């Protein structure tokens, strides 16, 4: 089920980003953020109790006016503040269920966007770490790595405490280079090194864990035999976006733009937030 949902999202996100081919990645990120904010607010309007939210907000505003008007009367002011507190609690109880409903599609979407906007490709001549985790230390000696001749490999380093095998790899030119990790029972796990690409989709992690598959979905449906390999990770530098002189992580920019888009869209669609 998780793979199927990610497959549909991967198709949609990939083709949408292709519409902005040649432009800066920040343009496609902003476009996706605006659309996401509007769509989420639209769904929020459909799954929430809009009439009840509207009445609660009116009650809070009325209590706030009472606090201002009767500020010289401690008893009336305290009663109004109590109604404001009760209204705030009622608003929270009404808002939480639809927010929880929206959280699931948000997790899937942001997991997809991480592959596009979360990492930068390696630079020719730079080095990185390829890390393989196995279930038990006895399997460490059976793990090997092979790759293209354009990639220099140092290692392996085997860690008995963490059940991991590590290699330092250094690509000497730009391109996409296959990485093949072989383990026991003739099991081979394919991955790749992305080098010198301006705006690639990057798979940094392949895992047998369902949680990792949810948060780090690979573009190819690689079967990870949990009995042999738990995870295969290639470290990439994180990408940051510069907007108006500020550098920020893509998640921060996504949240800000989608929030603004959702607020504006909510007013146009007359959705009570």
Looking at residue 155, its pLDDT comes to 83
Top-confidence residue, 118 or 210 = 118
pLDDT tens digit sequence for 227-251 = 678 889 999 999 988 877 788 899 9
Is the pLDDT assigned to residue 115 strictly greater than 80? yes
Looking at residue 98, its pLDDT comes to 94
**Mean pLDDT, rounded, of the chain:** 89
Give the residue extent of every domain in the chain: 2-118+249-269, 128-237
pLDDT tier, 225 (very low <50, low <70, confident <90, very high otherwise): low
Mean pLDDT is lowest, of 21-25, 30-34, 225-229, 247-251, for 225-229
Is the pLDDT assigned to residue 226 strictly greater than 70? no
Quick check: 143 and 134 in contact, CB under 8 A?
yes
52 Rama sector, left if φ>0, alpha if ψ -120 to 50, beta otherwise: alpha
What distance in Å separates the CA atoms of residue 232 and residue 208, rounded to the nearest whole number? 9
Top-tier CATH class for 128-237: mainly beta
Is the pLDDT assigned to residue 220 strictly greater than 70? no
Is the pLDDT assigned to residue 24 strictly greater than 80? yes
Which pTM was predicted?
0.86
Mean pLDDT is lowest, of 88-97, 226-235, 246-255, for 226-235
pLDDT tier, 22 (very low <50, low <70, confident <90, very high otherwise): confident
Looking at residue 183, its pLDDT comes to 82
Query: What is the rounded average pLDDT of the residues 15-25?
Result: 88
In Å, how far are 124, 179, 259, 263 from 267, measured between CA atoms?
49, 50, 12, 6
What distance in Å separates the CA atoms of residue 41 and residue 247, rounded to the nearest whole number? 27
In the chain, the percentage of residues whose pLDDT exceeds 70 is: 96
What distance in Å separates the CA atoms of residue 36 and residue 32, rounded to the nearest whole number? 6
What distance in Å separates the CA atoms of residue 44 and residue 59, rounded to the nearest whole number? 21
pLDDT tier, 185 (very low <50, low <70, confident <90, very high otherwise): low
Structure tokens at 192: 């790749």
pLDDT tier, 112 (very low <50, low <70, confident <90, very high otherwise): very high
């Amino acid at each position: 089920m998780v793979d199927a949902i990610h497959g549909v999202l991967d198709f949609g996100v990939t083709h949408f980003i292709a519409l902005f081919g040649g432009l800066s990645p920040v343009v496609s990120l902003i476009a996706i953020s605006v659309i996401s904010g509007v769509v989420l607010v639209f769904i929020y309007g459909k799954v929430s109790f809009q009439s009840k939210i509207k009445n609660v907000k009116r009650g809070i505003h009325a209590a706030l006016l009472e606090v201002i008007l009767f500020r010289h009367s401690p008893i009336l002011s305290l009663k109004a503040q109590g109604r404001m507190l009760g209204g705030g609690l009622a608003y929270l109880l009404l808002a939480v269920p639809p927010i929880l409903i929206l959280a699931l599609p948000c997790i899937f979407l942001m997991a997809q966007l991480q592959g596009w906007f979360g990492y930068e490709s390696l630079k020719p001549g730079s080095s990185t770490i390829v890390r393989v985790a196995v279930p038990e230390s006895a399997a460490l000696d059976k793990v090997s790595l092979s790759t293209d001749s354009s990639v220099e490999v140092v290692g392996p380093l085997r860690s008995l405490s963490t059940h991991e095998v590590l290699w330092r790899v250094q690509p000497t030119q730009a391109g996409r280079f296959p990485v093949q990790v072989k383990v026991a029972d003739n099991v081979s796990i394919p991955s790749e090194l992305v080098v010198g690409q301006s705006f690639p989709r990057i798979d940094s992690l392949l895992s047998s864990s369902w949680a990792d598959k949810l948060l780090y979905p690979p573009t190819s449906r690689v079967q990870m035999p949990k009995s042999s390999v738990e995870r295969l990770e290639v470290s990439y530098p994180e990408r940051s976006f510069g907007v108006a002189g500020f550098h920020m992580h893509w998640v921060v920019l996504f949240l800000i733009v989608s929030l603004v888009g959702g607020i504006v869209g909510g007013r146009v669609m007359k959705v009570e937030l």
